[in-house]
Structure 1
Amino acid sequence: MNNAKDQSNLDPEKTSLVNLELNAQIQPAVAANSEKATPSSYVVTTPNAKQGRGSAFKQVVAALVAQLGTINTGMVFGFSAIAIPQMKSPGSFIEVNDTVESWIASINAIGTPIGCFLSGYLSDLLGRKMTLIITQIPTLLGWVLITFATNIDMIYAGRFFVGLGSGMVGAPARVYAAEVTQPHLRGMLVAIASVGVSTGVLVEYIIGGFLHWQICAAISSVVPLTSLILIFLFPETPSYLMSRQKPEQARRALGRLRGKSCNLEREMDVLINFSKQNKVQHLSGPSEILRAILQPKVIKPFIVLALYFLIYQWSGTNAITFYAVEIFQASGAKMDKNYLTMILGAVRLVSTVAACILCRRCGRRPLTFVSSIGCALSMLGLGIYKFATMAEAAEAAKVAKAAGTTDVILNSAHSWIPVFCIFSYTIFCTLGFLVIPWVMIGEVYPVQVRGIVGGLTTMSAHIFVFTVVKSFPFLRVALTEPGIYLMFGMIPLLGTVYLYIFLPETKGRSLQEIEDYYSGRTKTLGPAPRSVAPSAPQVLEPQKGQLLP
């Protein structure tokens, strides 16, 4: 048993292959035939954990192309922020009141949950790649409708379709990226989707500061068109192909995704063993799908992530994103609202890139807690400031209205405080909330239902988006501005307690180890095993009281 060939023949039901850092779907199988078996019962050490990994470049490019459509999601988010103020300006052919404004901002979030559900089902039925192709069609249609809109109904329809498309792309893009990458790259590359969203927001803020909203819509259509063309160049994921009992196609896809430097035989052996052990196969009918979804290993992570999304959406993130220009208008800041919005978009993008890097280094839990506490303090600070300056802001609003403008400018020497709070909120929110739960969608679900449950999870997330964005203009009146921001601050503060108790750390863990944890085959997801020294011999090391198989 002193060579790799002997180890590949070990009974996968009794042996846990730890720390090989292979493909995200080709990882250690934990002992499942005994309640007493643990991942630490047998440990395989290897001379060099980096040998046979394959091409990182190929994995990076595949993940980037799969998630290119998420840039469009950011453009959808940012569009209302730049379009609504233009539509309210004199000479606009659209009459905008509070109700129309709320629908322009939120109607895309009605289409998004529908898209999430459809893409989840299609992802498991047709595959991750084909779903990514289909998802670009409603997106293109939506932007074309907005570009040539002559009335409010065309704008509503266009916003609905771009929302439908952005909902469809979320889950398959992240699942595809998770399934084609290895653990040492997975967290960072799945988080690229969040970089895409932030990039889209920034691009929309910039072009919206200089161009008419219909021209912005035309430019936005370039992104889904490019994504549609490029995805044809990449293969289906090996994990999906194995679930459809197509091992030869899975081997070819793995070869294209890893290159010549990868130990394909080793990865395929472990992939096949895991598929047999967990009886991974295609679910043929609704009854089978429903039974698979209702298993504890699916329900548990779904509840954790759904509540995570509830907490982070009701901390106010998309209220800030969708109404950024108007929020800066009412902040009392002296700097131009459009420039502030552009800077905010740039800060969000930089923070998202930092979050992707930190996601690989720091793990999911620490970034989540930094985000929840930082968001709470920022929103509470904004609410307290708004409360302290209510009288002055009301007087400034009267002056602005008399002057025929919507910009509220305070003479206070502390008018920088709301801008600081909004910027700090964006940084803290991006470091954790805007990245971590989306990364975990591609990690915590079993491969059989990863597509459809990932779609259900993103559907729940966007339902929360709709409730926040649609209700924000009315809550701002009902609770007053200080009240709405104080509420946004209390929710993540209380959510920190929930996340501390229930959120697992998945950094460095294979998808199989995570599935074993939620299946009850292992009791904890502790720190990932450390890499062994390059000079260490490749041998099985039994723990005390255990026998070698």
Structure 2
Amino acid sequence: MVVAAVLAVTASAGMPIGYSAILLPQLNNTNSTLKINENLGSWIASIHSLSSPIGSLLSGPLLDLIGRKTLLQIATIPLCLGWILIGFSSTQHIWLMLVGRIFCGTAVGLTAVAGQVLVGECSDAGIRGFLMSLLMVAYSSGIAIVYILGVFNWRTVAFSSIILPIIALISMTFITESPAWLVKHNKINEAKLALLWLRGNDEKQVNLELTILENRSNTDLFIKKNKSKINIIKLITNITSGIKTNIFHLEIIKPLVIINLFFLLQVLSGTYLIVFYGVDIIRDIGGEEIDNYIAGILMAVVRIICCGISCILFLKIGRRTIALISASGTALSSLILAGFFMKNNDSYIDKYIVIICVFMYVCLNTIGLMTLPGLLIGELLPQRARGVGGGFTMFLFNFALFGVAKIFPMIKNAIGIAGVFGIFGIAASLETLFTWLVLPETKNRTLQDIEDYFKDGNILWISKTRRKC
């Protein structure tokens, strides 16, 4: 039930992501009642990602202060307000469109880490990867819902998009808070009740998990108190020579660096640009012979199917294997597309071949590069840094996504669609190398095992000194 409620929130968060793909073609239509130019269109598409970092930064401290469940409930409020503002925007009041996108972006930033953390902390290690990857299925479903609704006027889509967040808000009232958060705030009895509810009243399993959570929480509290004293002293004594590396908690910095570099290369490989500008990209590739909206909907459906496939794969094979297949497949398909576009083949059959290749790119990209980042936040970061660290990560991710989405039209005009897919291919190739060198395997490992792996001084997976993780 926890997963179902979080899935509803996550699907709600996916809808604003895909909205620009159906909004911009309608606004660029000569019969549109709301007129925009290319620059304003790029702002409408990208300002969502500019505001998402605000929500991401707020989500870090709020996750620890008010809890994962409460934060997800609060996030549905600006999401609904944003859709209402978008629905009432006009040429004379275009600022309503932009403010509405900001509200939606902030809400998405609030939910991104909270959902992953709540599911990760409530689920058993054996099925954690499967359950967390379901969130990306819901996310992709939200995008697909907007694409399907794109046959209607963009105002109708905006007002219709209020329904799902309301359902999500109601469903969240029937689930429990994260046991880890409850233990951290010394609500032991509530944590035990939550675990009993989650584990089907298995007293032995609940007592074991509760003991581990209490020990980990006490250890983190001790480290936090002692580190804060040490940091102040060292900061004063080293103010002229710099702060030494060990002040910054290497067991936190190492997973943060891995996650953020993975995110950055994912953005540069085009994962979300295909979402933001999907219909426009298909139009550029296929021209008038291709039904852009049907192709966009099919792309969204393919993304959902591939997310579902990735859920099954997470149960069967390791995270590293999935990441390597996805990154290398994305690189290969992108570079093939870049080469194909450079030939300037304009025949009817050639265009359909290219469309098929684009769908292959979407499939290979989705099964790993799109589904793994959220899972990495929930698994690699230690408990005491999961809120703030996750929020910081999503801040950087959304800021990078804003920059890339904002300049994408300019880059596409300058180097063409062949150059765009060339960049995607290079970034995905670097992602493949980075994954092989650094990304740890976390399948069937407890969150405590993963945390201990980084405490042992490991950086490169290929030269790790510990085989437990």
Give the Cα–Cα distance (whole angstroms) in 2 for the partners of residues 312 and 520 of structure 1: 28
2:208 aligned with 1:266: yes
What are the Cα deviations for residues 492-533 of structure 1, in whole angstroms up to 9, with x where unaligned? 1122112211110111110001111111278656467xxxxx
Structure 1 residue 412: deviation in Å? 4.2
Contact 2:84 2:159 in 1 (8 A): yes
SS in structure 2 of the partner of residue 191 of structure 1: helix
2:177 equivalent among 236, 244, 268: 236
Alignment of 1:392-407 (within 5 A): none
What are the Cα deviations for residues 379-429 of structure 1, in whole angstroms up to 9, with x where unaligned? 11221121111xx6xxxxxxxxxxxxxxxxx43431122201210111011
1:75 equivalent among 2, 9, 15: 15
Change (3 A) 1:316 1:521: closer
What are the Cα deviations for residues 80-106 of structure 1, in whole angstroms up to 9, with x where unaligned? 000110111122122222101111110
Give the Cα–Cα distance (whole angstroms) in 2 for the partners of residues 460 and 233 of structure 1: 33
What are the Cα deviations for residues 45-79 of structure 1, in whole angstroms up to 9, with x where unaligned? xxxxxxxxxxxxxxxx2122123221122211110
Q: Which moved more, 1:508-517 or 1:84-93?
A: 84-93
Equivalent position amino acid for 1:111 in 2: S
Structure 1 residue 269: deviation in Å? 2.9
State the TM-score, normalizing by the size of structure 1.
Answer: 0.77
2:450 aligned with 1:496: no
Match of 1:363 in 2: 318
Contact 2:126 2:444 in 1 (8 A): yes
Give the Cα–Cα distance (whole angstroms) in 2 for the partners of residues 149 and 238 of structure 1: 43
Contact 1:147 1:215 in 2 (8 A): yes
Give the Cα–Cα distance (whole angstroms) in 2 for the partners of residues 413 and 269 of structure 1: 63
Give the Cα–Cα distance (whole angstroms) in 2 for the partners of residues 236 and 380 of structure 1: 46
Give the number of the structure whose alpha-carbon radius of gyration is greater. Answer: 1
Match of 2:375 in 1: 439
Contact 2:52 2:395 in 1 (8 A): yes
Change (3 A) 1:411 1:293: farther
Give the Cα–Cα distance (whole angstroms) in 2 for the partners of residues 141 and 421 of structure 1: 39
Give the Cα–Cα distance (whole angstroms) in 1 for the partners of residues 271 and 426 of structure 2: 14
Give the Cα–Cα distance (whole angstroms) in 1 for the partners of residues 154 and 375 of structure 2: 32
Give the Cα–Cα distance (whole angstroms) in 2 for the partners of residues 243 and 445 of structure 1: 16
Match of 1:307 in 2: 261
Match of 1:36 in 2: none
Equivalent position amino acid for 1:504 in 2: P
Unaligned runs of 5+ in 1: 1-60, 393-409, 529-549
2:123 aligned with 1:212: no
2:52 aligned with 1:112: yes
Alignment of 1:104-183 (within 5 A): 104-150=44-90, 151-183=93-125
Match of 2:239 in 1: none
Contact 1:386 1:481 in 2 (8 A): yes
Give the Cα–Cα distance (whole angstroms) in 2 for the partners of residues 430 and 69 of structure 1: 20
1:472 equivalent among 408, 412, 415: 408
SS in structure 2 of the partner of residue 245 of structure 1: coil
Give the Cα–Cα distance (whole angstroms) in 1 for the partners of residues 321 and 139 of structure 2: 22
Alignment of 1:289-368 (within 5 A): 294-332=248-286, 334-368=289-323
Contact 1:385 1:417 in 2 (8 A): no
Contact 2:449 2:468 in 1 (8 A): no
Alignment of 1:469-548 (within 5 A): 469-520=405-456, 524=465, 526=467
Equivalent position amino acid for 2:306 in 1: S
Give the Cα–Cα distance (whole angstroms) in 1 for the partners of residues 318 and 121 of structure 2: 19
What are the Cα deviations for residues 472-510 of structure 1, in whole angstroms up to 9, with x where unaligned? 100001222211211111111122112211110111110
Structure 1 residue 232: deviation in Å? 1.5
Structure 1 residue 283: deviation in Å? 7.0
Unaligned runs of 5+ in 2: 233-245, 459-463
% identical aligned pairs: 34
Give the Cα–Cα distance (whole angstroms) in 2 for the partners of residues 281 and 225 of structure 1: 41
Give the Cα–Cα distance (whole angstroms) in 2 for the partners of residues 200 and 248 of structure 1: 37
Give the Cα–Cα distance (whole angstroms) in 2 for the partners of residues 280 and 477 of structure 1: 53
Equivalent position amino acid for 1:186 in 2: R
Alignment of 1:390-429 (within 5 A): 410-429=346-365
CA RMSD of aligned residues (A): 2.2
Give the Cα–Cα distance (whole angstroms) in 1 for the partners of residues 12 and 42 of structure 2: 21
Give the Cα–Cα distance (whole angstroms) in 2 for the partners of residues 281 and 180 of structure 1: 24
1:378 equivalent among 311, 314, 333: 333
Q: What is the number of equivalent residue pairs in this alignment?
A: 445
Equivalent position amino acid for 2:85 in 1: L
Match of 1:222 in 2: 163
Change (3 A) 1:283 1:123: farther
Change (3 A) 1:130 1:293: farther
Give the Cα–Cα distance (whole angstroms) in 2 for the partners of residues 342 and 526 of structure 1: 44
1:275 equivalent among 210, 217, 229: 217
Contact 2:286 2:351 in 1 (8 A): yes
Structure 1 residue 262: deviation in Å? 4.8
Equivalent position amino acid for 1:452 in 2: V
Structure 1 residue 371: deviation in Å? 0.9
Change (3 A) 1:511 1:462: same
2:192 aligned with 1:251: yes
SS in structure 1 of the partner of residue 113 of structure 2: helix
Equivalent position amino acid for 1:467 in 2: G
Match of 1:15 in 2: none
Match of 2:243 in 1: none
SS in structure 2 of the partner of residue 68 of structure 1: helix
Contact 1:378 1:489 in 2 (8 A): yes
Equivalent position amino acid for 2:192 in 1: R
Structure 1 residue 214: deviation in Å? 0.8
1:97 equivalent among 30, 37, 56: 37
Give the Cα–Cα distance (whole angstroms) in 2 for the partners of residues 483 and 315 of structure 1: 12
Which structure has more helix as a fraction of its residues? Answer: 2
Change (3 A) 1:326 1:122: same
Give the Cα–Cα distance (whole angstroms) in 2 for the partners of residues 335 and 463 of structure 1: 33
State the TM-score, normalizing by the size of structure 2.
Answer: 0.90
Contact 1:517 1:524 in 2 (8 A): no
